[in-house]
Structure 1
Amino acid sequence: MHDLRRQALESGKTVSRKARSRNASVASSKANSTLNSPAHSRANSRNPSRHGSDDEEGFLSDGTAWSDDIELPSDAWKSELHVRIEQIVDRKRSSTEGRADSLNGFAHILMAKYAKDDIEKRMNELLPSILKSIKAETSERETVTALKALSVTIITLDSEDIYDSVADLLKRTISDSESTQTKISAIHALGVATFFGGASEEETEDIMAFLFEIIESDGLSVDAHDEGTVVIAALEEWGLLATEIEDLEDATEASIEAFVDQLQSSDAGVQIAAGENIALLYEKSYTPLEEDEEVSEEDLDPEDEDDPRTENKMVKRYTVYRRQDQLLHALDELANISTRKISKKDRKTLHSSFADIRNSVEKPTRGPKYSTALDQETGRTYGGGRMKVKINRNVEVRIDKWWKLQRLNALRRVLQGGFVHQYDENEAVSRCLPFSVSGKR
């Protein structure tokens, strides 16, 4: 058994970081001013309380506001962005710390404001400079901020050809960097580049295989053995990319054993990320019944019957895991874990997460936060859709599927408090997560 599952990790424990300051502002009177930015970015940290409350409207359960988390004066951000771009591309007159500050300020603006028109015309200069900061690894801070800037730039541009420009460098950085934080940031950037940057399905599957090697080897394949945070990042980005693959049967057979194995990790973050991927695999094993298709009754989802909320009957296409009874037992243990060897906060997170995961393994058409409580008026279960993010008065995103949760978490890692604004303005963001009209079931 791997060391990661034999002993507690000294550096593997991951907790939520403080929410971004609401009072971030731009000192527009000085050309070299530094944006007030969060003390630490959550883009590369595990947030173990990722599941929202029943009536979530713009907030997640850790108190993070999706709106107003990043505030920039409307009359200053464009000029400040121009200054940051000039600082980034003019490397000859910059220092390592200066470049890190400029990259951080640049990324912060792109999170808060949709600025595709402002950066697109400068990409011939911007991208090479950002990639040089990644490749040179002059300092960990410059490299990590460059990776953060690259990720938010990719989502802003919504380009079909940026993947080819960055993928090889990101893979080398993950494999060769001596910095754990750089590896983590590069893994997340690689996931974003693959998902949003124009990778083909074959290229996506290649990156998933690369990430899977990290997971299966507990980080050893990229010289990060038993680094729980590296394994978490790989699990998260594998899950994101898996949402894009229409038929996951082959990938399921190859990966499910490793994910089940990671449930025995001593790191709660690893356990949850593996569990969410397991739930996603079960969810993807069911697809809608096609017109004129005939299937046996045992392959139909019994919850579809006589439920007007179900537009399409769902059909089981393949078996995800042949030892499901053992898996359900392991999930039960995690959903009810009581040992004092882990913190009270981690126990609470494990209970909440694995109650949902177990529910989906047993009933794969049930998504996260599925309610089995009965509506007294209809006599039916309330079902999914209790987790939601309010975008505006009329639009909300309901996170009633595991694929939606994977994408939401990926967008949150990159955009942080700017998610709501980006959802309104950036098609790359809104097309990832279909919205629903408020007040309608």
Structure 2
Amino acid sequence: MSDLRRRALAGGKTVSRKARSKPESGLSSGNHTPNGSPGNSRAGSRANSRPGSRYASEDEYASESENDDIMTISTNSVSGEDDPGNTWAERLQDRVAELQDRKRSSVQGREATLGAYNHLLKHHFAQRQLDKSVAELMPILLRGIRNGSSDEERLRTLQAFTLTVLTCSPETIFEQALPILKAACQDADAENVKVEAIYALCIAVSYGGGSSTAAEETLDFFLEIIESDGQSVGAPDSGAVVTAALQAWAFVASHMEDLTVQSEAAIEAFIEQLDSSDPDVQTSAGVNIALLFEAAREYEEETGESFDMQYNQHRIMTRMAEIVRDSSKSVSKKGRRHLRSNFSSIVTSLERGKGPGYSTAGRAGPNPHTGGPRTDEQGEFREFGYRERIRIYNQFLLINTWSLHSRAELLKTLLGGGFGIHYLENPIVKDILGSADVEYIPNAKSRK
């Protein structure tokens, strides 16, 4: 269709200094052209950010990235109120036009434009604004991933690709993207580029038109990274790359109806990674083990057939207890606390056949005769139950399965401070978390 190739609006307005300072403007205060140097904040890698898993607590949607927090605060997540003549949709169209005009741009200009484009897509649901340009934009992003002139350009282009797929879900992009994303995993020099390529691949196969066979092959690709400690993609002993592969494996696996074929090799690899020296790798491996046992329980409940995991749950739990104890000698206090919290949730899950964040603490039920609490002899003890929740404005999402946990954690990593907006407005994100129970908060403000 001809309108798919229509160029986006070219900005010709006078831009105020305040507007230029916004991250989504693509302009720095010292350079008024789109191809100028990037702003003061660079879109750094998510590779070194710890996977957020605050069990037994409320996780209010927020960015895990300090840089993203700063960008969000500077624009109040929905910037444009102080510049009504230049809406976020118009700024997005300007950025799309700049991406389409690669020949007249510099490396620094493209980096700045991509950073602004990514910020806008994180903090606004822009499917309608991108519908007419996405067919032309996706090949441009794939070329940028393959031929980017700097690590930063490739990094931001990968992020732009992932956010665009999450926004528009182009159903035919996976086959075209697969060899390019795999190559980025393997040939990139920078660790953070490999991490973003892994995330992009997992989103592309799930929401870019990948088949069930493609999903199985992608799981095998991620598993090879895990089994080789990153060696298969040229990142030997990289905790960040292995952690990303573990998270991506869990996300894709959470969309599979049957994991019986993948389970045997996968659980062996995950158990081996429990001995990693990186707490993030250990935590992600533990989560994936819990995910597999959850899949086994569901399979047996639905089919009545046995799902033989070949591994004794008690031995796995004993090993986790040993890791927590021994970590005091080699892991920082913060890392040790993180590991202990996550492993405690995983062990409870394996012991009780529950999901993440299940609390066995509780209180006695009321005594119907006195109105006070029952004594132990008088009756039931009510456990607190699932405590892992995500607050989004006036509602809580209850995360009570490892499948949901894996999906939510990856989305929070990819969307940062825009997670809540996408949950409320983006049908793709809503579908990803569709199985979550929702609790509404009385008297809390909803998003207008």
One of 234, 244, 251 as aligned partner of 2:245? 234
Relative distance call for 1:97 and 1:402 in structure 2 (3 A) is same
Alpha-carbon distance between aligned partners in 1 of 2:205 and 2:193, rounded to the nearest angstrom:
18
Alpha-carbon distance between aligned partners in 2 of 1:242 and 1:391, rounded to the nearest angstrom:
26
One of 127, 138, 144 as aligned partner of 1:133? 144
For residue 364 of structure 2, give the secondary structure of its aligned residue in structure 1.
Answer: coil
Larger helix share, 1 or 2: 2
- The structure with the largest alpha-carbon Rg is 2
Alpha-carbon distance between aligned partners in 2 of 1:91 and 1:131, rounded to the nearest angstrom:
13
2:79 corresponds in structure 1 to 72
- Is 1:343 aligned to residue 332 of structure 2? yes
Aligned-CA RMSD value? 2.9
For residue 329 of structure 2, give the secondary structure of its aligned residue in structure 1.
Answer: coil
One of 331, 352, 366 as aligned partner of 2:341? 352
TM-score by length of 2: 0.80
Ranges in structure 1 where 5+ consecutive residues have no aligned partner: 1-22, 296-315
2:405 corresponds in structure 1 to 405
Alpha-carbon distance between aligned partners in 2 of 1:62 and 1:78, rounded to the nearest angstrom:
24
The count of residues paired between Structure 1 and Structure 2 equals: 393
2:391 corresponds in structure 1 to 390
Structure 2 contact 38–109 (Cα < 8 Å) conserved: no
Q: Deviations over 1:132-164 (max 9, x none)?
A: 111113100000000000000000002322212
In the TM superposition, 1:36-185 aligns within 5 A as 39-41=42-44, 43-58=46-61, 70-74=77-81, 75=84, 76-185=87-196
Structure 2 contact 195–240 (Cα < 8 Å) conserved: yes
2:108 alignment partner AA: E
Relative distance call for 1:228 and 1:26 in structure 2 (3 A) is closer
Structure 1 contact 369–386 (Cα < 8 Å) conserved: yes
One of 328, 334, 350 as aligned partner of 2:323? 334
Alpha-carbon distance between aligned partners in 2 of 1:243 and 1:154, rounded to the nearest angstrom:
18
Q: Which runs of 4+ in 1 moved over 4 A?
A: 23-31, 33-42, 59-65, 288-291
How far off is 1:331 after superposition?
1.0
2:438 corresponds in structure 1 to 436
How far off is 1:374 after superposition?
2.7
TM-score by length of 1: 0.81
1:301 corresponds in structure 2 to none
Relative distance call for 1:110 and 1:37 in structure 2 (3 A) is farther
1:307 corresponds in structure 2 to none
Alpha-carbon distance between aligned partners in 2 of 1:335 and 1:59, rounded to the nearest angstrom:
28
Ranges in structure 2 where 5+ consecutive residues have no aligned partner: 1-20, 367-379, 443-448
Relative distance call for 1:417 and 1:269 in structure 2 (3 A) is same
Relative distance call for 1:61 and 1:89 in structure 2 (3 A) is closer
Q: Deviations over 1:101-131 (max 9, x none)?
A: 1111101100000111111211232112211
Counting aligned pairs with the same residue, the percent is 32
For residue 390 of structure 2, give the secondary structure of its aligned residue in structure 1.
Answer: strand
2:343 alignment partner AA: F
Farther-moved stretch of structure 1 (108-117 vs 367-376): 367-376
Relative distance call for 1:35 and 1:353 in structure 2 (3 A) is same
